[in-house]
Structure 1
Amino acid sequence: MRAKLLAVTERLIYTGGIHATGMDRIVRESGVARKSIYRYFPTKEALVAEALRERDERWMNWFVSACETAPPGPPRLRAIFEALADWFSQDDFNGCAFINAAGEVAAGPVHDVARAHKRRLRDYLCSVLAECGVTDAATAAEDLLILVDGAIISARVGGDSRAAQRAARMAHQLVRDQNVSSTTGDSL
């Protein structure tokens, strides 16, 4: 019952938003009685936060698995954007659930889950950049996360079917620039 409740909640907030998804709809579509829901989760915010935690786990597992099919280094960096392009082309693509949630909720458990997801994604990007030989992979990962999030937003809001490919080109330039500045001692 809990798993179904979380799956339905995640689907509803991903497609319609947190504020637009009322508890009545969650009750109706999940088939879980309101009293049972509140036994598991004291508030709607707690329910949404847990649904997003589960999405984080599932999405990161999918993303890392998709990227890890490529060998370490530049091929894996390229795989990041190939995975994003595949995701963007799916019929149910509705942007990043965590960007969407953070846009609706400025603070609290839901925002904390969104922030934790972005940290987790940044940490994975850092490991890929380290495999590419980037000396300051942590700083470069912050930049790469901006490219990833920008591509997601461009694909969703702008309907840009080439957002992932453009972001990939910029990411490869970022790696080249990082590697050149680390060998020459130059920085911006």
Structure 2
Amino acid sequence: MKKTNPKERVLEVASNLFREQGFNSTGVNQIIRDSNVAKASFYDHFTSKHLLATEYLSQRHLNWFQGLQSFVINSNTSEEKIIKSFEYLKFMNDQENFGGCVFLNMLSELKYNNIDSYQIIKNHKLELQHFFHEIIKDKQTSFLVYMLFESCLTESQIFRNQTIIDTTITYLKSNIL
């Protein structure tokens, strides 16, 4: 573990456990044990598991969009940016073993109990819609690309392969872009 700050260690461990096991299947005691922090230190930083979830989602949102931006930054055209966005999905699938969208995974476990987490999830999706709209100025086309992106997230998680993303990229190149 590379983080030395207890809060950072807790967040890193919780992030991995939430992705691998899910929110409800991950206990605070496991997070405390695996991050090698004292229980008091955990509660100094996070007064509840739900607040930890909120912090996790906030951090994930920032990191995810930084990754997406780094994938498209050297693209010269809107077409290249869209294709690179879908390539980012493939990269994330490889990095996280087809874990799918952590925001939707958390939403399915949290429901609407945690209003702050729900708002982060909702804002993440709105920002992704905005991202595509900034690239593709036509509102209907940008929304269609966003929906294809979301479908690729889900379908690649279900089938645990990149085929749906590759097929969508081929479709986009010949029909939309």
Q: TM-score range by the shorter chain?
A: 0.7 to 0.9
Alpha-carbon shift at residue 167 of structure 1 (Å)? 2.4
| Matched length | 170
Q: Deviations over 1:17-58 (max 9, x none)?
A: 000000011000111222222222221001111011111111
Alpha-carbon shift at residue 174 of structure 1 (Å)? 6.7
Q: Quick check: 1:27 aligned with 2:28?
A: no
Point out where structure 1 has 5 or more consecutive residues left out of the alignment.
Answer: 177-188
Which structure's CA Rg is the greater one?
Answer: 1
Given that residues 49 and 110 in structure 1 are in contact (C-alpha distance below 8 angstroms), is that contact kept between their aligned partners in structure 2?
yes
Q: 2:57 aligns with which of 52, 57, 76?
A: 52
Give the secondary-structure state (helix, strand or coil) at the position aligned to 2:47. Answer: coil
Q: Tell me how far apart the structure 2 counterparts of residues 172 and 123 of structure 1 sit (CA, whole Å).
A: 21
Read off the aligned partner of 1:53 and give its amino acid letter.
S
Read off the aligned partner of 1:162 and give its amino acid letter.
T
Q: Quick check: 1:77 aligned with 2:82?
A: yes
Q: Deviations over 1:89-119 (max 9, x none)?
A: 3363411111111111111222222112111
Read off the aligned partner of 1:167 and give its amino acid letter.
T
Q: Tell me how far apart the structure 1 counterparts of residues 32 and 100 of structure 2 sit (CA, whole Å).
A: 25
Q: Tell me how far apart the structure 2 counterparts of residues 103 and 174 of structure 1 sit (CA, whole Å).
A: 33
Alpha-carbon shift at residue 172 of structure 1 (Å)? 4.7
Q: Deviations over 1:32-88 (max 9, x none)?
A: 222222222221001111011111111110111102221132121111112222222
Given that residues 129 and 143 in structure 2 are in contact (C-alpha distance below 8 angstroms), is that contact kept between their aligned partners in structure 1?
yes
Given that residues 98 and 156 in structure 2 are in contact (C-alpha distance below 8 angstroms), is that contact kept between their aligned partners in structure 1?
no
Aligned residues with identical type, % of pairs: 21
Q: Which runs of 4+ in 1 moved over 6 A?
A: none
Q: Which residue of 1 aligns with 2:105?
A: 100
Q: Which residue of 2 aligns with 1:164?
A: 165
| TM-score after normalising by structure 1 | 0.81
